[in-house]
Structure 1
Amino acid sequence: MSNTNHTPESDDSQQPRKTQESRTDNEDSGNGSRTADHRMSPVQVLREARAQLAELAGVTAESVTSFERTDAGWSLEVEVLELERVPDTMSLMASYLVELDPEGLLTGYRRLGRYERGRADAHRSGGR
């Protein structure tokens, strides 16, 4: 004979599923962003950007040099190691612009420039 009574434990086991469904419904409601209590923190956005760029472009992110929230989500500039050389100062680096939607999904990226690790790029050194 099976127990068909609803216990608090069985009711609780259904709660996360309902919460997830309602979250999905809210996110897909056409507004394109999560509610305030489900927004990604800046640290989560940075982690997502680095991981997704590494997977898609096959490069290792070394640092994030700019980070801002935009109307469309997030925009980051990420410095990556493109080609490792010996000595390390001769390794080929690149700067990428990475764009994510409000939920942290990568919507696009492009390489802004390449340089050897040991060299400063002209626009950042101020022409010195």
Structure 2
Amino acid sequence: MAEQRERRSRRTSASSASSASPASTAATTSRSRSGTRARVPGPEDAARHACDRIDGLAVGPAEGVSAVTRTDDGWCVAVDVLELPRIPDTTSLMATYEVEIDRSGELLQYRRVRRYRRGTADD
């Protein structure tokens, strides 16, 4: 009985993997000159990569992304970071970091462009 379930799960996972459209697969990968596949991230992937990269470098954890812009070299992502938690939460110090990543998701540079209290509105 366990063997039947295992076979069914293998068939299900194989059929779901083969049902992925070639267009969606081609949109997320491309061939480099050497013939290996290189990841070309979209805006969602760029935001995820930027948050991952800034987590190890900034003072606090990434809280969100406020902007994603395509550049000639890759992506520029504005990541909001909690720099100093306070009570009440609306008085916590936040910062926006501009993170530049290349097309493969590697960090090119980052810098803090703004520091503000969580509860304040933009001017």
TM value normalised by structure 1: 0.64
Aligned to 1:107: 108
Report 1:60-79 matches (<5 A): 60-79=61-80
2:28 maps to what in 1? Answer: none
| Structure 2 residue 34 is the aligned partner of structure 1 residue 25 | yes
User: What 5-or-longer segments of structure 2 have no aligned partner?
Assistant: 1-30
C-alpha distance in structure 1 between counterparts of 2:73 and 2:116, whole Å = 29
Identify the residue that residue 92 of structure 2 maps to in structure 1: 91
Distance 1:43 1:89, change over 3 A: same
Identity %: 45
* Distance apart, 1:24 and its partner CA: 8.8
2:117 paired residue number: 116
> Structure 1 stretch 54-63 or stretch 111-120: which is displaced more?
54-63
Equivalence for 1:46 = 47
Q: In the aligned structure 1, how far is the partner of 2:83 from the partner of 2:45?
A: 24
Distance 1:58 1:51 in 2: 13
Give the TM-score normalised by structure 2: 0.66
Does the CA-based 8 Å contact 2:102-2:108 persist in structure 1? yes
Separation in structure 2 between the aligned mates of residue 46 and residue 113 of structure 1, nearest angstrom: 18
CA distance in 2, matches of 1:75, 1:58: 20
* Aligned-CA RMSD value: 2.3
Deviates more, 1:56-65 or 1:89-98: 56-65
Whether the 8 Å CA contact 1:79–1:93 is kept in 2: the answer is yes
5+ residue gaps, structure 1, are: 1-21, 28-33, 123-128
- 1:120 match: secondary structure: coil
Paired position in structure 2 for 1:81: 82
> Which entry has the higher C-alpha Rg, 1 or 2?
1
Q: How many pairs are equivalent?
A: 93
- In structure 1, distance between residues paired with 2:95 and 2:59: 12
Tell me what 1:59 maps to: 60
Moved over 6 A (4+): none
